[in-house]
């Protein structure tokens, strides 16, 4: 197939100058390839005269047309990237950051269309791994979250934690509703074998209203309740007061669920040392206890089969009763390090 290259006289002059001055064989071959194609020689003839593979001729032509002379001649790359130049790798990385590809075959099609380089699907996977990309789930985030409000909240909390003394206790609050059923998860399973996970037909839930101490991962207070509402929240807050009889102030950070702002609860709080602090809307990333719920799912819910709801509830409650057994893991997980909506990290 003949290659049509549209090259201006100025470009030809620049290519000829590179051809005369370069001492690098790879650069000489690249510019000569483009000059020969510009004079109308067939890709087959260019391949024969320069002793390079026919696919390399097509690749050089595609690359020159795509990136221009300076980047086409760039040779300052680190490591081995296969059939793509460092410039082409840079363009590929930009494309992958800009567009989500859900399979390697689609990435291979983009590479072929853009650079004229043919990869097998397995070859694309190897290439993506080499340049720092991995196949993993996208992360769901609330579309209505507000970065300015999160930043403002972060500054407020930074001051609160900085000034926290021994007479102040800070808890993070939230409710969780584990469903009585197993969920498939990842695990190391022998090749060619399946690991069958039994499930039940019901969708019964266990409702847990909880608090976790920002400074003590083993200080977790929970109530197994019929419904997470203002009443169970009041009972939970009462547990926090009983747990900290010497405290002069108990601060509780929560989301904006209606039961936290219930009129009766607010009236009751007036006679206590409890102060509520509300997270910005749509900011689960700033609620420490969310990580505890994920840990619970990984340890208890996703990995075991519970034939009855009673056994399921018992396992969850035993997890919280024996929370000290997980102290080392939780101290690593429940740090006061958070990531804002703009991926900025903060620490308190």
Give the C-alpha separation, 210 to 223, whole Å: 6
Sign of the Cα pseudo-torsion (279, 281, 286, 292, in order)? positive
What is the pLDDT tens value at each position of the chain, 348 positions in all?
677 777 888 888 888 988 988 888 888 998 999 999 988 899 999 999 998 888 888 888 888 887 777 777 765 444 344 678 777 888 898 899 889 999 999 999 999 888 888 888 888 888 898 888 888 877 776 666 788 999 999 999 999 999 999 999 999 999 999 887 666 666 677 777 777 766 666 678 899 999 999 999 999 999 999 999 999 999 999 999 999 999 999 999 999 999 999 999 999 999 899 999 999 999 999 999 999 999 998 888 877 778 888 888 999 999 999 999 999 999 999 999 998 877 788 888
Which structural domains are found in the chain, ordered by start? 1-75 (no CATH), 77-138 (no CATH), 147-182+201-347 (3.30.420.10)
Give the C-alpha separation, 239 to 233, whole Å: 10
Nearest residue to 141 (alpha-carbon basis) of 343, 341, 344, 345: 341
Give the C-alpha separation, 233 to 268, whole Å: 11
Give the C-alpha separation, 86 to 77, whole Å: 5
């Amino acid at each position: 197939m003949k290659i049509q290259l549209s090259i201006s006289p100025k470009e030809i002059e620049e290519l000829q100058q590179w051809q005369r001055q370069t001492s690098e064989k790879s650069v000489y071959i690249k510019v000569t390839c483009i000059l020969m194609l510009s004079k109308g020689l067939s890709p087959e003839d260019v391949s024969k005269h320069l002793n390079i593979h026919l696919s390399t001729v097509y690749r050089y032509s595609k690359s020159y047309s795509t990136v221009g002379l300076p980047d086409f001649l760039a040779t300052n790359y680190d490591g081995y990237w296969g059939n793509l130049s460092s410039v082409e790798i840079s363009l590929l990385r930009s494309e992958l950051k800009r567009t989500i590809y859900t399979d390697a075959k689609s990435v291979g099609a983009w590479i072929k269309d853009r650079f004229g380089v043919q990869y097998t699907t397995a070859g694309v996977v190897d290439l993506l791994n080499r340049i720092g990309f991995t196949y993993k789930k996208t992360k769901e985030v609330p579309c209505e979250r507000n970065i300015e409000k999160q930043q403002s909240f972060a500054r407020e909390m930074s001051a609160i934690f900085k000034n926290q003394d021994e007479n102040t206790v800070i808890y993070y609050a939230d409710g969780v509703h584990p469903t009585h059923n197993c969920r498939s998860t990842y695990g190391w399973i022998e090749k060619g074998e399946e690991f069958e996970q039994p499930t039940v037909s019901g969708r019964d839930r266990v409702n847990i209203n909880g608090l976790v101490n920002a400074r003590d991962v083993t200080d977790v207070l929970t109530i197994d309740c019929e419904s997470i509402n203002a009443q169970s929240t009041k009972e939970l807050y009462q547990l926090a007061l009983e747990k900290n009889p010497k405290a002069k102030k108990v601060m509780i950070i929560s989301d904006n669920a209606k039961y936290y702002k219930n009129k009766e609860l607010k009236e009751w709080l007036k006679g206590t040392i409890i102060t509520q602090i509300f997270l910005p809307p749509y900011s689960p990333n700033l609620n420490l206890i969310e990580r505890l719920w994920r840990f619970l799912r990984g340890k208890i819910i996703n990995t075991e089969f519970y034939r009855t709801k009673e056994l399921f509830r018992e396992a969850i409650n035993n997890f919280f009763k024996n929370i000290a057994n997980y102290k080392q893991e939780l101290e690593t997980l429940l740090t006061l390090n958070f990531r804002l909506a703009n991926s900025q990290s903060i620490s308190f």
